[in-house]
């Protein structure tokens, strides 16, 4: 059983979806427990529909705990325990810290894993002394993430580099770039602090000031959309930079 926030376009969420589908294809049974729906947290409803349809088509079951469990963690613990009783997993794999708090209500003999998906740990170091009491082992998705987590966690920290489904890269239409055309740049990720989009836009402004021709397309949604739109206008990058929002064909964009 994987436990994660929302069936949305974030990297961790898509990674869990791809991993779950691959695990079912390899003969495992997989259930994803989401903390909240897209409607509850203001995310893209159409994207959620596609996300859940892919899970159903791949025989991955899923359920929701409800957004109110963020404010009432005892309800989250009760509902997660109910899902665990129903699905009877061999391992519970948490992908957000709220889920670890809920996991304290699970049977002690049930292994609980935690993957940390960012170098921004999202919780103060002292909380890991609490998490260590329930977590069997942690996973870091890159060397920087693992190095940041290892000194503050008493449990084993395993590095498993973040992966992308090969199917996402096998799109038709790849072609050699036209050396005479403007350089085409693409960025894919949530519009949040961790992605450093403001720095990217400042860099683009420098490119334009040097007379270099380029276009930048940014795919993703997030809380900083209005801020980035204002920065694009302030830097005079309206003709060069476009925000695409959520897209379903990432491989096509890269191609």
Q: Verify that 78 and 162 share a domain, yes or no.
A: yes
Q: Can you give the pLDDT at residue 162?
A: 85
Residues 137-194 pLDDT 10s: 999 999 998 999 999 999 999 999 988 777 666 655 666 767 778 899 999 988 988 8
- 203: phi then psi, degrees, rounded to nearest 5: -65, -40
State the pLDDT at residue 43.
81
What is the rounded average pLDDT for all residues in the chain? 90
Distance CA 193, CA 188 (A): 14
Other Cβ atoms within 10 Å of 252 Cβ, number:
12
First to last CA, the chain: 34
Is the same domain home to 162 and 177?
no
Non-local (6+) Cβ contacts of 62 within 8 A are: 7, 31, 32, 33, 34, 52, 55
Same domain flag for 100 and 213:
no
How crowded is residue 6: how many other Cβ atoms within 10 Å of its Cβ? 24
Strand partners, 228: none
- The confidence score (pLDDT) of residue 166 equals 72
How far apart CA 136 and CA 32 sit, in angstroms, is 19
pLDDT, residue 173, reads 62
Q: What is the pLDDT of residues 48-96, one digit of tens each?
A: 999 999 999 999 999 999 999 888 888 999 999 999 999 999 999 999 8
pLDDT at residue 168, rounded to an integer: 67
pLDDT attached to residue 47? 86
Can you give the pLDDT at residue 252? 82
250 pLDDT band, cuts 50/70/90, is confident
Listed residues 166, 181, 213: the one ending a domain: 166
Residue 189: which CATH number? 3.40.50.2000
What is the CA angle 118-61-73, rounded to 5? 55
- Which of 133, 166, 199 terminates a domain? The answer is 166
140 and 207 both lie in a single domain: no
Q: How many domains does the chain have?
A: 2
| 67 plus 95 within the same structural domain | yes
Residues 149, 35 share a domain: yes
pLDDT digits (tens, 9 = 90+) for 89-116: 999 999 988 888 899 989 999 999 999 8
Domain termination residue (choose one: 135, 166, 197): 166
Check whether residue 25 and residue 111 sit in a common domain. yes
The pTM score is: 0.77
Using the Cα atoms of residue 51, residue 53, residue 59 and residue 64 in order, give the sign of their dihedral.
Answer: positive
Q: Which domain, by its residues, includes 195?
A: 170-254
């Amino acid at each position: 059983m994987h436990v994660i926030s929302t069936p949305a376009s974030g990297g961790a969420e898509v990674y869990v979806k791809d991993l779950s589908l691959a695990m079912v294809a390899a003969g495992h049974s997989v259930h994803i427990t989401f903390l909240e729906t897209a409607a509850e947290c203001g995310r893209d409803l159409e994207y959620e529909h596609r996300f859940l349809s892919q899970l159903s088509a791949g025989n991955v079951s899923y359920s929701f705990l409800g957004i109110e469990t963020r404010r009432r963690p005892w309800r989250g613990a009760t509902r997660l325990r109910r899902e665990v009783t129903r699905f009877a997993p061999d391992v519970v794999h948490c992908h957000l810290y709220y889920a670890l708090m809920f996991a304290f209500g699970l049977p002690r003999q049930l292994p609980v894993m935690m993957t940390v998906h960012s170098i921004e740990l999202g919780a103060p170091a002292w909380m890991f002394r609490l998490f260590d009491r329930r977590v069997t082992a942690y996973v870091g998705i890159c060397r920087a993430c693992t190095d940041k987590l290892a000194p503050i966690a008493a449990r084993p920290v395993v590095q498993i580099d973040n992966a992308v489904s090969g199917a996402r890269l096998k799109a038709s239409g790849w072609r050699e770039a036209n050396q005479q055309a403007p350089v085409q740049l693409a960025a894919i990720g949530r519009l949040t602090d961790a992605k450093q989009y403001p720095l990217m836009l400042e860099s683009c402004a420098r490119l334009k000031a040097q007379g270099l021709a380029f276009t930048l397309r940014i795919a993703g949604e997030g809380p900083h959309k209005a801020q980035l739109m204002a920065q694009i206008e302030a830097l005079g990058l309206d003709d060069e930079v476009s925000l695409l929002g959520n897209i379903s064909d990432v491989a096509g964009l890269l191609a």
